[in-house]
Amino acid sequence: MILVAAHVLSTNYRESMPRAIIYAPNTDKKINPADDLGADGLRRLGVDHQLRVNVGPPPASLSVWIIEPTIQQETRDTAPRGTILVLHGIQDQKTSMLRTAKSLAARGYRAVLVDSRAHGRSSGQWVTYGAIESRDLVQLLDALQQQQLLVKPVGAFGVSLGGASAIMLAGIDSRVRAVVAVASFATMHDEVFHYARRFFPEWWLSDDFIGRAIAKAGREAGFNPRDASPLQAIAKTDAHVLLIHGRADKKISYHDSEVLHAASHDHSELVLLDHEDHDSISRDPNGMVALRSQEWFDEWLAGR
């Protein structure tokens, strides 16, 4: 999605657009687990555990960090109040989510940061807009449970692609009871159209051409683009979903979160922030996203 413009401008744009849609930072790269951070590097970052979890199909190895709850001084209690997955956006990696994870750990939750397939230190070939990523996360929860690292209830916090994946995870795994999705898209199909139209008018790229490129991208990456739909997932789940979006977001319109909320009035809440765009809301300069997220998880996880 982010690379569509650059690829389509090339002379072979008709051939390259499907690949551009699913292109990820680690496409065509080999990831060597031996190069993962050592104990000293993890300690400097404040990370308590590092895991590798094999998922698929298609096969991938996810790089996972865990930050344990901070001691609650008044009770000296270190038992987690629950487990929250912390998920980054497209073309990003888990290191950018450390501040969010630490803020959740400070509230007493076990925070689990994940490099999405083909991002960061995770292997994999393509990005699939949550269609396969959400299935990866089910397998991650299974692995955490098998290693006695999954303390229920379970929540998920995600930005952009991470938010979409969090909603889609809740749609297929009832262990997830609360979600915070920041600047999520409603469907892959509509978002790719939206992004392409930001740069190219219909006379240059027809709707039919974009549609065929999306379908070809799905075939190449082994998924059905129609399945990459937080909109379908949010209507299926009974998890409580907080949708946060910036009104100035040009990459993913805040109308996507309005559509998601309209499909889930009985179990979602919508927060629109004036003057915030796709990048600034991820940085959360005034702490509003962190505050509302903590309140949401305290209500629907710790309060249950």
The C-alpha atoms of residue 88 and residue 79 are separated, in whole angstroms, by 26
The C-alpha atoms of residue 76 and residue 248 are separated, in whole angstroms, by 43
3-state secondary structure of 2: coil
The C-alpha atoms of residue 260 and residue 241 are separated, in whole angstroms, by 10
Q: How would you classify the pairing of strands 154-159 and 240-246?
A: unpaired
The C-alpha atoms of residue 115 and residue 93 are separated, in whole angstroms, by 6
Radius of gyration of the chain (CA): 19
What are the structural domain ranges in the chain?
4-30+62-302
pLDDT at 183: 98
Confidence of residue 198 (pLDDT cuts 50, 70, 90): confident
pLDDT at 212: 94
Confidence of residue 73 (pLDDT cuts 50, 70, 90): very low
> What six digits make up the tokens of 22?
């699913």
Does CATH place domain 4-30+62-302 in 3.30.2090.10? no
Which residue shows structure tokens 């509302």? 292
Phi, psi of 9 (to 5 degrees): -70, -15
pLDDT at 14: 60
Per-residue pLDDT reduced to its tens digit, 90-123: 999 999 999 999 999 999 999 999 999 999 999 9
The pTM is what?
0.93
Print burial letters for 19-44: b (CB count within 10 Å at least 16), e (below 16): bbbbbbbbeeeebeeeeebeeeebee
Q: 176 or 74, which is more confident?
A: 176
Question: Would you say residue 144 has pLDDT above 90?
Answer: yes
The C-alpha atoms of residue 31 and residue 59 are separated, in whole angstroms, by 13
**DSSP per-residue codes, 264-304:** -GGGEEEEEETT--HHHHHH-TTSHHHHHHHHHHIIIIIT-
Per-residue pLDDT reduced to its tens digit, 257-272: 999 999 999 999 999 9
In the chain, DSSP assigns E strands to 49-55, 60-67, 83-87, 110-114, 154-159, 176-182, 240-246, 268-273
Q: 193 or 3, which is more confident?
A: 193
Q: What is the dihedral of CA 162, 207, 5, 2, to 10 degrees?
A: 0
The C-alpha atoms of residue 204 and residue 206 are separated, in whole angstroms, by 6
Q: Sign of dihedral through CA atoms 271, 195, 26, 284?
A: negative
Per-residue pLDDT reduced to its tens digit, 219-259: 999 999 999 999 999 999 999 999 999 999 999 999 999 99
CB 71 within 8 A of CB 63: no
Print burial letters for 116-134: b (CB count within 10 Å at least 16), e (below 16): bbbbbbbbbbbbbbbbbbb
The C-alpha atoms of residue 46 and residue 277 are separated, in whole angstroms, by 29
Question: Would you say residue 72 has pLDDT above 60?
Answer: no
Return the closest-CA partner of residue 252 out of 267, 272, 232, 234: 272
Return the closest-CA partner of residue 130 out of 167, 156, 100, 93: 167
H or E stretch including 198?
A: helix 188-199
